[in-house]
Amino acid sequence: MKWNLRFQKDAKKEFLKLDPQIQRRILQYFKERILTIDNPRTLGKSLTGNLNEFWRYRVGDYRIICKIEDDNIIITVVMVGHRREVYED
């Protein structure tokens, strides 16, 4: 099964602020490891509490928070950032 990757508007804006090398590394991780497997939940980790509908992937010191839509075969990136900043609110 081939998953599709989408970015929410704010997540895309934050992604584009990252160093181009980090951007490439994140996209490569998704293309090679996440989008090509049948169940993207076999990698990463479920968030807890009021964020339990989201899934987290780690790429170096960066965290990518996603929502997985099984019915539509879509992974939507809702937040991306450095590990010390991504969970702050």
pLDDT digits (tens, 9 = 90+) for 35-68: 999 999 999 999 999 889 999 999 999 999 999 9
Res 86: pLDDT? 80
Considering only CA atoms, which of 55, 1, 60 is closest in space to residue 26? 60
Res 60: pLDDT? 95
Is residue 69 assigned to a domain? yes
Is residue 89 assigned to a domain? no
Residues 4-21 pLDDT 10s = 999 999 999 999 999 999
For residue 89, pLDDT over 70 is answered with no
Res 88: pLDDT? 67
Average pLDDT (20-26) is 98
Is residue 88 assigned to a domain? no
CATH label of the domain that carries residue 57: 3.30.2310.20
Is residue 10 assigned to a domain? yes
Burial label, 77 (beta-carbon count in 10 A; 0-12, 13-18, 19+): buried
Q: How many domains does the chain have?
A: 1
